[in-house]
Amino acid sequence: MRGEHLREVFETVLPDDELMQLANESGLQTRQRKLDAVRFLRSMVIAAATRYGGRQADVARVYFEERTEPVVRGGFYRWFGPALERCMEGCRNRALAYARRQPRDLPGVLGREVSDWHIVDSTTVKLDDALKNEYPGTGDYAALKVHKRFSVGVGTTIDYHLSPAREHDAPHLEVDASWMGLGLLVDLGYASHALLRDCETHDVRYVLRLKEGWKPKVERVVKGTTIMGFARGTDLDLLLGFSVLKLDGKPIDADVVVGDDIHCRLVGIDVPKKGYCFYLTNLSRQTGPKQVADLYRVRWEIESDNKLDKSCHSLADIGAKKASVVRALVHASIVSSVMICLLAHHHRLEEAGPPRRGSDRKQAPIHPQTLALVVGHAGMRIAMAMEEDTADTWDWLAKSFEHQGKDPNWRRRPSVLDELRGWRVQPGRRKAARTKSGVAN
């Protein structure tokens, strides 16, 4: 990780002049004589990762430790309102636009048929009961959903919007012409015949699990063991039920029709301890059955990103009672999370891929959650670095973050993305084995 990359991320997303313009346009600065708006907005994002106490209390701690003019706590909390929400929306837009401009890291099968893979999912945030009318949850409580669009090539969220948690996920995904040339990975909450038709209409590749209750009609079995012929258009359940198509551990790859007129591939892979998992895709057979299943496993990246938001950037710890303040804090959490992912992405691009497929990885990769904890503890140092703006300070921080932000479990649980990039990860040997072979004393 380089100091210049670290500085670029922070100064692109949180530049002084842009923050000041946002504060003036929103009315945040003009109404608050003692407020240092630039430091306040930066504190909103930096404090999201510190996790020392309550969200607003953390912002106050970071803000006041930047040598700002003292103000009573009640007066400080009055700065949280609609004007702050508008400012944080501006920070959100800058962070997402910057993420979308980044070069993609899609080697091998990841970039074979698409320009990028996007994952769509939502995460739920429980709120104070005072907000039940505006953000009703699925029960007798208040909650909102963050509907996210995650880029696999950049490794971060590139778009999101909010809704009451009671609303179903599916209407919040619309595949249109802007998706052309992309790949889509979603869970069953978004699966519908209409979605598959939209993907075909707009030249979008997809991989999703076969939904229970769907009755694909098999036109042709390309791979798999069949014991006799069958009529085109036979239901998959009949072929499996009468063992015409055998589940003998071998991959299955078939042409099927879903619904009335959706032609696609059905892929089945035998998963240890789970049995066969079936997927629907419109990828060409240049991408084999095992690779289709591996691509679906990449969908877990957005689950890890949701955990990053909640565990490391306080998205699950929003206790505000006003909707505008809630939204401002949500924006601060996700902007902070996106910045961490961008730092990991810069490091990944700098590291480059394996010299040849199957090369042993010798160094641990950066792990966003581990990196987020390290950056969070250095929140005040980052705030000072943005004031000092010296190359030596940024270089020192980058070196420290790289050293402490590596994945501690990289040998035990290799990343599916590392596998798809062509890395081979050898499991570590036990200490006794290393000692016996003379590696350790």
Q: Are residues 288 and 217 in the same domain?
A: yes
Residue 399 tokens read as 């070196």
Please give the radius of gyration of the chain, using alpha carbons only, rounded to the nearest integer.
25
Q: Round to whole Å and give the CA distance between 276 and 278.
A: 6
CB proximity list for 438: less than 8 A, separation 6 or greater: none
| Mean pLDDT of the region 172-197 | 95
Q: Is the per-residue pLDDT at 53 higher than 70?
A: no
**Are 231 and 210 spatial neighbours (Cβ–Cβ below 8 Å)?**
no
- Residue 66's pLDDT is 78
b/e sequence 276-287, b meaning 16+ C-beta within 10 Å: eebbbbbbeeeb
The stretch 26-42 carries a mean pLDDT of: 81
What pLDDT, on the 0 to 100 scale, is given for residue 432?
55
The confidence score (pLDDT) of residue 361 equals 87
Tens-place pLDDT, residues 237-257: 999 999 999 999 999 999 999
pLDDT tens per residue, range 125-142:
999 999 999 999 999 999
Q: Let me know whether 288 and 360 are in one domain.
A: no
Range of the domain at 214: 206-296
Query: In terms of C-beta density within 10 A (0-12 exposed, 13-18 middle, 19 or more buried), how is residue 344 classed?
Result: buried
Residue 425 lies in a domain: no
* 182 assigned to some structural domain: no
- Looking at residue 431, its pLDDT comes to 54
Q: Give me the count of residues in the chain.
A: 441
234 phi and psi angles, rounded to 5 deg = -70, 140
How would you classify the pairing of strands 183-185 and 117-127?
A: parallel
**Does 427 fall in a domain?**
no
Q: Degrees (nearest 5) of the Cα angle 253, 255, 256? A: 120
Q: How high is the pLDDT of residue 34?
A: 77
Residues 335 and 391 in one domain: yes
State the pLDDT at residue 428: 63
Task: Kindly state the helix (H) or strand (E) to which residue 349 belongs, with its residue range.
Answer: helix 323-351
* CA atoms of 35 and 29, how far apart (whole Å): 7
267 and 335 together in one domain: no
68 lies in some domain: yes
| Same-domain pairing of 93 and 7 | yes
Residue 64 lies in a domain: yes
pLDDT digits 0-9 by tens, 67-93:
777 888 788 888 899 999 999 999 999
Average of per-residue pLDDT across 392-401 = 92
Residues 352 and 274 in one domain: no
Domain count, the chain: 2
| Mean pLDDT, residues 11-17 | 92
Residue 82 lies in a domain: yes
Instruction: Report pLDDT for 426.
Output: 82
Residue 47 in domain: yes
**238 within a domain of the structure (yes/no):** yes
Domain boundary among 296, 315, 349: 296
Rounded Cα distance between 89 and 433, Å, is: 54
Alpha carbon distances (Å) from 288 to 92, 137, 329, 417: 38, 41, 44, 17
**pLDDT given at position 441:** 43
In what helix (H) or strand (E) does residue 76 lie, and over which residues does it extend?
helix 73-77
The answer on 333 and 245 residing in a single domain is no
Query: Which of 147-151, 175-179, 334-338, 373-377 shows the lowest mean pLDDT across its residues?
Result: 373-377
Confidence (pLDDT) at 430: 57
Average pLDDT for 102-116: 93
**What pLDDT does 250 receive?**
95
Whole-angstrom CA distances from 104 to 40, 114, 300, 355, 372 are 33, 11, 18, 18, 22
Average pLDDT estimate for 317-341: 95
Please check whether residues 411 and 335 belong to one and the same domain. yes
